[in-house]
A = this chain, B = another copy of it.
Amino acid sequence: MSAPGGDWASSPLLTDLYQLTMLQSYFDGGMHAEAVFEFFFRRLPPTRNFLIAAGLEQLVDYLTRLRFGTPELDVLADTGLFHDPFLAYLERFEFSGDLDAMPEGTVCFPNEPIARITAPLPEAQLVESRLLNLLHFETLIASKAARFVLAANDATLVDFGMRRAHGAEAAVLAARASYLAGFAGTATVLARPLFGIPIFGTMAHSYIEAHDSEIEAFERFARGHRGAVVLLIDTYDTEAAARDVVELATRLRGEGLAIDSVRIDSGDLDALSRSVRQILDDAPGDRIGIFVSGGLTEQDVARFVAAGTPIDGYGIGTALDASTDAPALDCAYKLQEYAGRPRRKRSPGKATLPGRKQVYRRYGADGRIERDVVTLVSEPRDGVPLLVPVLRRGKPVGELPDIGRIRERCAAELATLPAELTMVERQASFDVEIDESVTRLADQA
């Protein structure tokens, strides 16, 4: 797949056509006064109690690198939809506006602005499609991953989902979003050079099947592999394979070699983990861990933890990378103000709250979130403001935190969740307060 300009995922043509035709109309009408757009989620699906904001780093990268080169302008000229003065304007186009946003890893809720763009109308408009594409997806996955993290009670979680992720970018961004939410790492190799994320690997059933015997496969791998040795034991008979692992570990020990873990990918994982645990406890040397995988959901993980199933780690694939129970969230990027006047949509079921807004969060004595208030920027309230300056006049205000710091922040944020929001099943919902300064403006707009 080759694209004009090479790196097609960063292409300015990765947008909806109407953004560009509206831009030409704004250009023709001289409509370049300041606009304020906000990105927010409208509501949560039944299996989400909160969200984890994510994707800001990719958004900043997009906004600060957004340019139209000759190949892209040629594509647009070829459509016949755009006139030369507008194409010349696009050639000079860059994002010169402000971005305020919740830092990645922040716990957030519906109706709260997660990101606010303040820029000349054409700039704020054009970036809509990719902004939604990035912030929606990474927030979707980080929020899903956080549910696994809360359920797993400190067991190791690894992203195994590349194969069912929706394409290449979904695979690497899911690795990133799940890592920042608390996963230990990913199987997707490319996530290491792209984002500095730890990578993990075991072996496939085909590796076992390609050998004439399972024990021969185990031994070859254990002798040759330079990292932690994880042997897949469910290809034929899981318990028999576990006994072979004990025998192999005994033999290898004399040579100073160790088996780190076994992986079970099918069958009754609770029962098998218990019987395999008993078998493995006979092995000499360091304890051999049990790692499980195979279509696991956060409900499965919570069930194993509650039952005390002896599982040390989980490989999570499809349910994470495709967020299968809720593969899309209801979110929007809406014009709130233009040329100094509040703006709003009144479409049935999709009405919006106008004005430029901030979220103030108050914590209880136990450090947990007590109240969030969405208010106008001009009407500050008690508490910690959640949106912080990220870009001013198109330039970064400071350096964005690296992925390790985002991950620490997210862990700290999860600790501020009211206990009833930390359960896999919904036990309560958190209502965000809309300040009367906002509702008053909505009545007027």
Where the two chains meet, the residues of A that have a C-beta atom closer than 8 Å to any C-beta of B are: 1-4, 6-11, 13-22, 24-26, 28-29, 31, 35, 37, 58, 61, 75-76, 79-83, 121, 125, 128-130, 132-134, 136-137, 140, 160, 162-174, 187-190, 192-194, 199-207, 209-211, 220-221, 224-227, 234-236, 265-267, 318, 322-324, 327-328, 334-335, 338-339, 343-350
**Contact A204/B22 with A166-B165, A167-B169, A194-B8 known, Cβ cut-off 8 Å:** yes
- Which residue of B is nearest A138, CB measured? B167
Q: Would B189 and A15 count as touching, CB distance under 8 A?
A: yes
- Beyond the given pairs A25-B221, A129-B163, 8 more chain A to chain B contacts, judged by CB atoms under 8 angstroms and listed by A's residue number, are A1-B194, A6-B7, A18-B187, A28-B224, A128-B206, A166-B169, A206-B335, A209-B345
**Contact A207/B266 with A162-B16, A234-B347 known, Cβ cut-off 8 Å:** no
Q: Would A205 and B345 count as touching, CB distance under 8 A?
A: yes
Q: Would B210 and A343 count as touching, CB distance under 8 A?
A: yes
| A128–B211 alpha-carbon span in the complex (Å) | 18
Q: Would B137 and A167 count as touching, CB distance under 8 A?
A: yes
| A213–B64 alpha-carbon span in the complex (Å) | 33
Q: Would B4 and A209 count as touching, CB distance under 8 A?
A: no
**Contact A347/B235 with A128-B204, A162-B129, A328-B322 known, Cβ cut-off 8 Å:** yes
- The contact of A1 among B29, B61, B201, B343, by CB within 8 Å, is B61
Contacts of A346 in B (CB 8 A): 235-236
| A203–B18 alpha-carbon span in the complex (Å) | 5
A127 to chain B, nearest CB (A): 12
Q: Would B133 and A163 count as touching, CB distance under 8 A?
A: yes
Q: Would A209 and B170 count as touching, CB distance under 8 A?
A: no
Greatest chain B CB density within 10 A among A19, A164, A225 is at: A164
Q: Would B210 and A17 count as touching, CB distance under 8 A?
A: no
- Which residue of B is nearest A76, CB measured? B189
Q: Would A7 and B7 count as touching, CB distance under 8 A?
A: yes
Contacts of A172 in B (CB 8 A): 1, 8, 14
| A3–B28 alpha-carbon span in the complex (Å) | 39
